[in-house]
Structure 1
Amino acid sequence: MPDATLLDCFPTPSDTPFVIEHVNEEFTSVCPVTGHPDFGDIVVRFVPRAGKDGGVCVELKSLKLYFQSFRNEGIYYEAVTNAIRDDLVAAMGPVWLQVVTIWRGRGGIRSVVRATHGEVPGEWVAI
């Protein structure tokens, strides 16, 4: 299974709310039915807790290594999306977090899966 212990965090550098967006354009996993590789983009958006509240942000190299731990995993799109959300929420405890997985087409079908945690900040409702 993907390894959430790879995720490292550092203290939030601000007491003022802000949104962070990380984009992985080279995500790969394996279709559990066919064994074929699945390719996609992963977008992670989150609002960390304020620094005075013990908030943390995920460190990028650790996030990259975590994403790579899915590489040979036979896992459905929906399970990937929810696992990433759940692991990042457990690691960071953000105010709000959204994971969007955008999968390359296969057989004429492309898929987008979204999973969220917390209340969506007003400026992000339309996304």
Structure 2
Amino acid sequence: MSGVPDHEYSGLTQLGQPTRLPSSPEEAVLERVPAPHKDLRYCVRFTAPEFTSLCPLTGQPDFAHLVIDYVPRNWIVESKSLKQYLAAFRNHGAFHEACTLDIAQRLVGLLDPVWLRIGGYWYPRGGIPIDVFWQSGDPPAGTWIPNQDVQPYRGRG
């Protein structure tokens, strides 16, 4: 696999195995594998157009389109574990800002990337959308970072 020895993947607990959905983001296990090209600067993008969480006060569902971009240093996130982690928010009550920033901070803590950015494009709650954006600093020079290109909520406009 991409020049990385198979023993580099021996610690993975979810990929290729049946797994149950974690009951909370805190319970979810995020896993990482060695970056395949540590000598190159490249951007990895994950898009979660059907992200859901719960309003912490009413328990009503909230929906978002998340876009996560990062430039790896030594690690990349294992995608099944990321999917499981994001899905664990379905029963988690938190404000939009908390969900978006908690995801970013958990990934930064796991991966220690060169750079990370998250865009949380939330659908309206109470009649207005609340979008949340964060990045770890300036994007690295010379690395192609595409625009997120998620249109702001327009309603019937």
Output the TM-score relative to the length of structure 1: 0.87
- Total equivalences in the alignment: 122
Separation in structure 2 between the aligned mates of residue 71 and residue 98 of structure 1, nearest angstrom: 22
The residue aligned with 1:56 is 75
The residue aligned with 2:46 is 22
Instruction: Name the amino acid aligned to 1:8.
Output: E
Shift of 1:106: 3.1
Separation in structure 2 between the aligned mates of residue 25 and residue 85 of structure 1, nearest angstrom: 16
Alignment of 1:16-95 (within 5 A): 16-49=40-73, 55-95=74-114
The residue aligned with 1:105 is 124
Q: Which stretches in structure 2 are left out of the alignment for 5+ residues?
A: 1-23, 149-157
Separation in structure 2 between the aligned mates of residue 116 and residue 4 of structure 1, nearest angstrom: 25
Instruction: Name the amino acid aligned to 2:75.
Output: V
Give the secondary structure class of the aligned counterpart of 1:64: helix
- The answer on whether the counterparts of 2:120 and 2:133 sit within 8 Å (CA) in structure 1 is yes
Change (3 A) 1:4 1:116: farther
User: When you count strand as a share of all residues, which structure comes out higher?
Assistant: 1
Change (3 A) 1:31 1:5: closer
The residue aligned with 2:12 is none
Separation in structure 2 between the aligned mates of residue 19 and residue 6 of structure 1, nearest angstrom: 23
> What root-mean-square deviation, in Å, do the aligned CA atoms of Structure 1 and Structure 2 show?
1.9
The structure whose RCO (Cα within 8 Å, separation 6+) is larger is 1
Percent identical pairs in the alignment equals: 40
Separation in structure 2 between the aligned mates of residue 24 and residue 18 of structure 1, nearest angstrom: 20
Q: Give 1 or 2 for the bigger CA radius of gyration.
A: 2
Change (3 A) 1:4 1:125: farther
Give the secondary structure class of the aligned counterpart of 1:111: coil
